[in-house]
Amino acid sequence: MSALVCTECQARHPLTAPIWRCRCGGLLDIVHTPKLDPAAVAKLPPTPHAQPITMGEGFTPLLPIKLERVRFLAKLDQLFPTGSFKDRGAAVLMSQVAALRIRTVVEDSSGNAGCAIAAYGARARIVCHIYVPSANSPGKLAQIAAYGARLHRVPGTRQNTADATLAAAEKAYYASHVWNPFFFEGTKTWAYEVCEQMGWRAPDAVVLPVGNGSLLLGAAIGFRELRDMGIIGDVPRLIGVQAEGCAPLAQAYKQGLAEPTLVEAAQTVAEGIAIAAPVRGRQILEAIHASRGTVLTVDDDALAAVQHALAQQGLYVEPTAAAGPAGVVRVRQLGVLPAGATVVTSLTGHGLKTLHA
């Protein structure tokens, strides 16, 4: 039976419960038994939700790229309706919110998740209160406001914004891309698409930017389901990429810790992954260890160089979205993977979002 399951007290709640965390305060995961017939997908895509809130998103191109003599594949997730991969999660989460007949939600974000929740909220006529750090990209804040969401600018760090939102979530449903497990049911489609586009095979490794892990954990869920259904042999190695200036997961990985280390709120051009205290940090580290992956860091100079090099090939991404490709190059420099390994990353956000930068 499908259910929401608490990661702390193991309590089970029905999928239709209008909750975003357990009574005990614990993080919720979704358990269910996936069923997929690749042959049927080719004929007719399955309809996952009775009344989806959708803009026809998904199935972004999987493009071969060469950077500093390194060859890899990248999902062009900057091409989503709101310009980032966060639409994967927002489409599923806001479909669930609409089905539950919830009329008002709160969400906090460095910008892109806020854009996605606000856009899908607008389509479903759900009132969205979006909390953002006041110093983040003005383009993202303008985009959130354009969708008609109520924008709350919070001075200080990303953590200050998260704290303000948790307080607001005492009274409203928290459409969180971190806490809410339905968001990960959307981001897991990244793994399904990669496999389908590779002829129902998994790559050897995936290299993904990681702040709160909404893409990396979604990918982990998707690949695990594909493995459990016997469609792929094994989960690819999951390699997380953090900014040198804010790397609680990379530090924990290096030190062999199960929980992220405490870091100072940091200065980095990669605002999307400047997360000092990732709520699902333990889960992220577990998923990486289970796949024999790793977490590495890239500095702002490397991000700027890769952002520029991609633009020279026609691919305009925001600084945070250079982290995946920069991580692939780093993986090669460090010799983490055997030569000839197939590696897939994502261009997670559009360059038009950060024109001021």
Ligand X SMILES: Cc1ncc(COP(=O)(O)O)c(C=O)c1O
Interaction mask 246-275, ligand X, x per CB under 6 A: --------------------------xx-x
Tell me which of 4, 5, 22, 65 binds Zn ion, using CB under 5 A.
22
Of 101, 103, 166, 97, the closest CA to residue 131 belongs to 166
- Kindly tell me which residue out of 60, 82, 95, 110 binds ligand X, with binding defined by CB under 6 A: 110
Taking alpha carbons only, the member of 7, 35, 36 closest to residue 22 is 7
Footprint on residues 78-97 left by ligand X (CB under 6 A):
84
Task: State the binding partner of 22 from Zn ion, ligand X, none, CB within 5 to 8 A by kind.
Answer: Zn ion
Least distance in Å: CB of 56 to ligand X?
21
Of ligand X, Zn ion, none, which one sits near residue 209, judging by CB under 5 to 8 A according to partner kind?
ligand X
Indicate the length of the chain as a whole number: 357
d(CA 28, CA 199): 33
Distance CA 143, CA 81 (A): 12
CB of 28 to Zn ion, least distance (A): 8
- Asked if residue 318 binds ligand X (CB under 6 A), the reply is yes
Report the distance separating Cα 84 and Cα 323, nearest Å: 14
Closer to ligand X by Cβ: residue 52 or 324: 324
Contact between 210 and ligand X per CB under 6 A? yes
Tell me which of Zn ion, ligand X, none is bound by residue 189, counting a contact when its beta carbon lies within the kind-specific cut-off of 5 to 8 angstroms: none
Give yes or no for residue 26 binding Zn ion (CB under 5 A).
yes
What is the CA angle 317-153-141, rounded to 5? 30
Residue 321: name its binding partner from Zn ion, ligand X, none (Cβ under 5 to 8 Å by kind): ligand X
- DSSP secondary structure of 241-268: EEETTB-HHHHHHHHT-SSPPP------
Q: Is residue 242 involved in binding ligand X (CB under 6 A)?
A: no
What does residue 344 show for φ and ψ, rounded to 5 degrees? -120, 140
What lies within 8 Å, CB to CB, of 219 at 6+ separation is 187, 188, 190, 191, 206, 208, 238
**Binding-site ranges for Zn ion (CB under 5 A):** 6, 8-9, 11, 22, 24, 26
**Binding-site ranges for ligand X (CB under 6 A):** 84, 110, 112-113, 209-215, 272-273, 275, 318, 320-321, 348-349
